[in-house]
Structure 1
Amino acid sequence: MSRSCLVACYLLLALGLRQACAMAADPNGRVVGGVAAAANSAPYAVSMQYQGTHYCAASILNTNWLVTAAHCLTNSAQVLGSTLVAGSIAVAGTASTTQKRTITYFVVNDLYTGGTVPYDIGLIYTPTAFKWSAAVAPVSLPASGKVPTGTASLYGWGSTSTTNTASYPSTLQVANNLPIISLASCEAALGTKGSDVHSTNLCTGPLTGGVSICTSDSGGPLVQGNVLIGIVSWGKLPCGQANSPSVYVQVSSFISWISTNQVAPS
């Protein structure tokens, strides 16, 4: 793959677009290291859909607010015309427990400048409160400044393809036991893109490949138990390759920002 195509692929994943550099399709279409999630296993995970198509994910913070990636919020008309689909592992929202909500307001971190850069975090406001159930519930936030270690679980409806031809699941996927790797290891593995990794980011492996975030996982949750430690930000395409860590917003770096910016529009 040419260097120009590689850079373009980084940006396409970061923007959560359902397209990529042309490449032969994987006939197996297998999940990138994940499996179908059980019903109610991630009641905070929400699909963001525009005209019926999933493009990003978000996590429920409380009855009216959600957190996602800033790059999912760059097109105001799309965001305000989107539907939040909660309470269903089926992306089509076919479960009897499904709750659908509109978006009337959103906030993007002032320091986010677009693309594969730090501060990729934003908040979404829905005027109709979520109703708590086994299928719809808020995620917990970590202590401010706490740097996560160990392993974590990733949830998303993003592409499951290991090539540059995307393939999307109909059901929420989960990849468990993802190793959290040091920022130094993350930067080294990403090569020239390593300079985009910031102290407010978090990275997961494995660097041997086989498991990773992918297109349209953007904004989704990386959790330890019920605690949101990361928000999907960016990574390499094709997904799941060796030396291709997944890059997230480290939520503990933004606890004050999250609290301060949950101000409902008047």
Structure 2
Amino acid sequence: MQCFSLTTLLVVSLTNLILLIVMILESRKKCLNEDVISDTGFRFGALKGLDKSSAVMQRGVLRDEARSMAALILLKGGMTSLICGTVIISKTWVLTTAHCCELVRSLSFENLKITSNSENWKRGKKRSIENLVRHINYTAKSSAFNVCLIKVGSPFKEVNEQPMPIASSEYRYITDTSASTLGWSSTKSSLYTIDVNLISFQRCRTLVKADHVDETMVCAYNIDTADCRFDSGGPLIQSNIVIGMVSFETNCAKRATARVFTRMSFFQRWFQDVEKQNDVRIGASFKP
């Protein structure tokens, strides 16, 4: 009986010791996280994070900003693969990033499609691609001028195919205001949204520690932890205006990590140049 009591006492003591160690570690982790957040100067009061997938649907219909979302996909050997996100900006044009167009530069247009009108890129309406126009100054080394236009073979006219306006050259990017990104899930093939807050250009250069963060870019940070590994080429949206495109990031899934987007207000003149040089009308709308 005494042996049993001693054994029980030892087990209970060991359990308590383990619990104490866990509590100390968790407390230490929390303190470290608070230190990191404090060092970055972020403020988290602007917007509460939303569910990453359900927020795009309302009563079976896509939310306004989600209706502009499309996907660049590859059809080959009986397989369908997601390449990048895109956003509808006019009746026959979508916008994505130059690094997405680089991925398919050597592929035949016959194997490439734009899908839209669905919260699932695999089930979307497929359209052929007629042309890709990548910014001539883009380089993978710097990620500057990371923008590309894609023309589809037939007009967007379904209920969930609504063009979204683009930030004009007069658009003001205000630090610590909320915005959202749209992307495609790799596991469920579905559309999801992530809430972010804009940060200043100077702060972004400090956090990213990259000399190539320049005037063609805008930065933001995640308000919540999120799996955003497959949002490449998707839009950054504020007040139903495309103000950026997902460009690059160090760890986009981590809370309080700086993410870098193409600053769309920088490129209004470029759209005009593309129309003039290629004798086409894109028909995009720009808002200040």
Normalised by the length of structure 1, the TM-score is 0.74
Q: For 2:197, which of 176, 179, 183 is the aligned residue? A: 179
* Deviation per residue, 1:210-256 (Å, 9 max, x gap): 247x333111111113210011111114x322552111101111012
- Which of the pair is proportionally richer in helix? 2
The CA deviation at 1:43 is 1.1
Counterparts of 1:132-143 in structure 2 under 5 Å? Answer: 133-143=158-168
Identify the residue that residue 60 of structure 1 maps to in structure 2. 88
Q: Which of 1 and 2 has higher RCO (CA within 8 Å, sep 6+)? A: 1
The CA deviation at 1:34 is 2.5
Residues 61 and 50 of structure 1: CA distance in aligned 2, closer, same or farther (over 3 Å): same
Q: Are the counterparts in 1 of residues 92 and 155 from structure 2 also a CA contact under 8 Å?
A: yes
Q: 1:201 & 1:89 partners in 2: Cα distance?
A: 28
Q: For 2:270, which of 234, 257, 263 is the aligned residue? A: 257
Q: 2:188 & 2:108 partners in 1: Cα distance?
A: 22
Secondary structure (helix, strand or coil) at the match of 2:265 reads: helix
Identify the residue that residue 118 of structure 2 maps to in structure 1. 88
Q: Are residues 1:169 and 2:192 paired?
A: no
The CA deviation at 1:147 is 3.1
AA aligned opposite 1:45: M
Larger radius of gyration: 2
Identify the residue that residue 76 of structure 1 maps to in structure 2. 105
Secondary structure (helix, strand or coil) at the match of 1:76 reads: coil
* Deviation per residue, 1:22-64 (Å, 9 max, x gap): xxxxxxxxx9973332142211110111121112011111111
Q: For 2:138, which of 112, 117, 122 is the aligned residue? A: 112
> Aligned residue pairs: how many?
216
Residues 49 and 145 of structure 1: CA distance in aligned 2, closer, same or farther (over 3 Å): same
Identify the residue that residue 231 of structure 1 maps to in structure 2. 245
The CA deviation at 1:108 is 0.7
Secondary structure (helix, strand or coil) at the match of 1:129 reads: coil
Q: 1:60 & 1:258 partners in 2: Cα distance?
A: 15
Normalised by the length of structure 2, the TM-score is 0.68
Q: Are the counterparts in 2 of residues 47 and 58 from structure 1 also a CA contact under 8 Å?
A: yes
Q: Are the counterparts in 2 of residues 145 and 253 from structure 1 also a CA contact under 8 Å?
A: no
Q: For 1:127, which of 153, 158, 171 is the aligned residue? A: 153
Q: Are the counterparts in 2 of residues 205 and 211 from structure 1 also a CA contact under 8 Å?
A: no
Secondary structure (helix, strand or coil) at the match of 1:112 reads: coil
The CA deviation at 1:115 is 4.2
Residues 225 and 64 of structure 1: CA distance in aligned 2, closer, same or farther (over 3 Å): same
Residues 197 and 169 of structure 1: CA distance in aligned 2, closer, same or farther (over 3 Å): farther
Residues 216 and 259 of structure 1: CA distance in aligned 2, closer, same or farther (over 3 Å): farther
Where does the alignment leave 5 or more consecutive residues of structure 1 unmatched? 1-30, 160-167
Q: 1:203 & 1:33 partners in 2: Cα distance?
A: 22
* Deviation per residue, 1:74-96 (Å, 9 max, x gap): 13233722110011011211xxx
Identify the residue that residue 74 of structure 2 maps to in structure 1. 50
Q: 1:101 & 1:247 partners in 2: Cα distance?
A: 29
AA aligned opposite 1:119: F
AA aligned opposite 2:62: N
* Deviation per residue, 1:190-209 (Å, 9 max, x gap): 13xx2121111011114x76
Q: 1:32 & 1:236 partners in 2: Cα distance?
A: 22
Q: 2:260 & 2:144 partners in 1: Cα distance?
A: 10
- Which of the pair is proportionally richer in strand? 2
